[in-house]
Amino acid sequence: MAKYMLIMRGTDETMAKMMDTPMEQMLEVVGRYNEELIKAGVLVAAEGLDDPRQGVVVDFSGEAPVVTDGPYGETKELFGGFYLIDVASRDEAVEWARRLPPMGGAKCEVRRVSSIEDFPQDNEWIVKERAWRERTGQL
């Protein structure tokens, strides 16, 4: 099994359409999909993000970090939320992404989440992280 993140991306227009959708309707559609993931035993986490205008950007391109309000200056795509699923393969992750409720114009990026097993196990930082994960029940 491997974890994959289904990253929900939309434009200003798709985000506005979503905000215009009645909350009950959105909860019904998304709730049905979430229930499928839960029944299949693959859902690890799922979260939506607040309006990007309420966020901040920390820019590390200069000598000191610069903090500005809102999303990046020119937003062609906005990260709107994610699903974290634990599935047998990339193909299975893609199949779950294909079953997402349609959100006209939105996109879903599917990316594997690196595992601690992907890193050198004799590295002191990996040893410390592994011990922390074991203590907190994550391994």
pLDDT in tens, 23-53: 898 889 899 999 999 999 999 999 988 877 7
**Domain total in the chain:** 1
> What pLDDT, in 10s, does the model give residues 94-110?
999 999 987 777 889 99
Q: Provide the CATH number for the domain around residue 73.
A: 3.30.70.1060
Whole-angstrom distance, CA of residue 85 vs CA of residue 68: 32
Whole-angstrom distance, CA of residue 2 vs CA of residue 84: 10
Q: What percent of the chain has pLDDT over 90?
A: 58
Cα–Cα distances in angstroms (integers) from residue 69 to residues 52, 112, 133, in the given order? 9, 30, 34
The stretch 80-104 carries a mean pLDDT of 92
* E strand or H helix that includes residue 93: helix 90-98
pTM over 0.95: no
Domain hosting residue 131, numbered range: 2-135
